[in-house]
Structure 1
């Protein structure tokens, strides 16, 4: 046992002596969480739009003022002809044009309706759709204010309530996903590189003929990264709470246990990668390309899994990140306990046991 503890201490010393490894372990996660939290969002604010007002009456001016007063839009320019619409879009700055028909206010009073055309730049479909929805909401609000004293025979008044994220903050979606990606990449990549380095330098065989058993060598390589990944997870949660104001409505103890389980799953995957990698470069490429893209695309982090083709929905079930993101959102945002997350927990536990067993078999074949 003393030899085993000494070996673990040696691994810690080796990690802390390598400044590049320390930067990857602690610098990149902090940079990524800040980047995703502040820069990447599905919300829109201060979007530049243009206005083509054929009517120029009191009603259109009230609507324009209402849109301009919102935090979502900034009226960049007024154009005079429909022929100018394409020109302003080609410049790339304007994302939408509001086109008010002639005699807008008069049509609204005499006919009971008037037309305003919302033209959006759909080179980014999600942004175009969001702009259209926000503009429609402002117009409907203006219409309700005009009709507040008008009694209708029948009225359907929808009332929308957003639970778990009432302000629709994009960071509430991105933080659990970023935490998953960071723990997956750091744990799997660093473990696979660590063991591949020993194999590349020819020192792994020396370790395996030492008084330590092969399993002890592998565990000794993994234990430091479990400890360091737990520190990373703690830093991410603390930053999420105090910088991005993401709540943790559930049990912190359960969150810690689930995070440790996912870290061990990722480390087991890293060990498996190292069995297929003779060099550090190969391990790095497999870790980055083989884990990062599937984690981002097939975990539900950015794109809804239900919107994907059926084959991809099936493949997503073997991505550990999918299940951990569900667990994180359940604990942090919904405040649920293990009674609601037992299935996802069992899936991660089963993946961990499978990966550990497969890795042990591969190492026995290749290194003994």
Structure 2
């Protein structure tokens, strides 16, 4: 019994001496609870919309003010003509456009009916449906308020039109997210485990003192995962096109280049994980819980980022998957080019350079 208790005591010493293990044991569960508690929500907040007001009368002004006053919507811009609607959507900021017909107030008085067209971005079907329902609810409340003191009942008829995904197929939302998760996990997790295995077995030092230079050793280990990830990307795209009938409106060449860039970003992140991981188990835990959960919760894959608390929205900017999902949806569903995706591309490139620089610094520290 004394030996057994001594063994238990020794295990406690090992656990408390390893700060990374303590973080995994205590930090990760807390982070997961906070992420799940704040990020999992079907509500919308501060969704940016645009207004196309052909009438510009007092009634449309009241409706616009009522919508703007709610916590659910924020008016991003006022559009002057219908030809500008698609361009506004392709910029990626607005999620809906309210299109008021000509002579809105006059039609409401004379014909007892006026029309507002609600155009939503259906690349995310769940969010598009929620936005449409919220707008309809606000319009119904306004209509009830106006009909309280009059005998002739006015009627406002919203007309909803979904663009980019008119049939509201969920696969159009999940394919970019699944592709991002697979590329991230295959690239980052497998690379980190592969390099950590060498360090754990004590063979990394042997490789580094061989005639090969250290960066050649790292590149030699990374290159196979680039090809594996590219194959995964091609397979996912082919399945989405031929099985799920998902369109690719933009350039396949640009889609391939952006995919390669994200793969390299993920690989450099995997190398960075390997520099701070002493064992394969630690590397796997960091990769799974430190990468997969943020990709699912904070990338906009399932839950709209605009509805999250401000701190989580700030954190989401540092998640590479967020920017890659924007790129995928832009190319595959909206058909946009590099002229509208240059910012996201530069962010991924900057992250790649940052991960490479930090990894080199960490490797130098460990080898001194």
Query: TM-score normalised to the size of structure 2?
Result: 0.59
Show CA shifts across 1:249-291 (max 9, x none).
Answer: 0000000000000000000000000001111111000000100
Q: Whole-Å Cα distance in 1 between the matches of residues 320 and 179 of structure 2?
A: 13
Note if 1:216 corresponds to 2:216.
Answer: yes
Report the 3-state secondary structure (helix = DSSP H, G, I; strand = E; otherwise coil) of the residue aligned with 2:162.
coil
1:155 deviates by 5.2
Provide the C-alpha distance between the structure 2 equivalents of 1:272 and 1:224, rounded to a whole number of angstroms.
17
Match of 1:327 in 2: 327
1:175 matched to 2:186? The reply is: no
Q: Does 1:235 align with 2:240?
A: no
The 2-side partners of 1:156 and 1:186 are apart by 52
**Structure 2 counterpart of 1:202:** 202
Rounded to whole Å, the distance in 1 between the matches of 2:216 and 2:367 is: 14
| Aligned structure 1 segments of 4 or more residues deviating by more than 2 angstroms | 152-159
Matches within 5 A, 1:29-108: none
**Cα deviation per residue 1:10-39 (whole Å; 9 max; x = unaligned)?**
xxxxxxxxxxxxxxxxxxxxxxxxxxxxxx
Distance of 2:154 and 2:314 partners within structure 1:
46
Correspondence list, 1:276-287, <5 A: 276-287=276-287
**Structure having the higher Rg:** 1
Q: How big is the shift at 1:347?
A: 0.3
Match of 2:350 in 1: 350
Deviation, 1:154, is 6.0
Offset at 1:167? 0.2
Gaps of 5+ in 2: 1-41, 43-125, 137-151
Instruction: Please give the TM-score of this superposition, normalised by the length of structure 1.
Output: 0.59
Distance in 2 of aligned mates of 1:156 and 1:336: 35
**Residue matched to 2:269:** 269
Provide the C-alpha distance between the structure 1 equivalents of 2:367 and 2:219, rounded to a whole number of angstroms: 15
DSSP-derived class of the 2:215 partner: helix
Unaligned runs of 5+ in 1: 1-41, 43-125, 137-151
Q: Distance in 1 between matches of 2:315 and 2:291?
A: 13
Residues 148-199 of structure 1 deviation map (CA, whole Å, 9 limit, x = unaligned): xxxx996543322111000011110011011001101110000000000100
- Cα distance in 1 for partners of 2:205, 2:278 equals 13
Taking a change above 3 Å as real, the CA distance of residues 293 and 153 of structure 1, as seen in their structure-2 partners, is: closer
- 2: CA distance, partners of 1:176 / 1:191: 22
**Alpha-carbon displacement from aligned partner over 1:116-144 (angstroms, at most 9, x marks no partner):** xxxxxxxxxx9xx98xx7xx9xxxxxxxx
Q: Which residue of 2 aligns with 1:366?
A: 366
2:304 is aligned to: 304
1:195-253 C-alpha deviation (Å, 9 max, x unpaired) = 00100111000000000000111111111101110011000100111111111100000
Q: How far apart, in 2, do the equivalents of 1:239 and 1:364 lie?
A: 43
Looking at structure 2, the residues matched to 297 and 155 of structure 1 have their Cα atoms a distance apart, in angstroms, of 40
Alignment RMSD = 2.2
Distance 1:154 1:295 in 2: 47
SS of 1:161's partner is: strand
Q: Distance in 1 between matches of 2:156 and 2:274?
A: 61
Matched, 1:258 2:258: yes
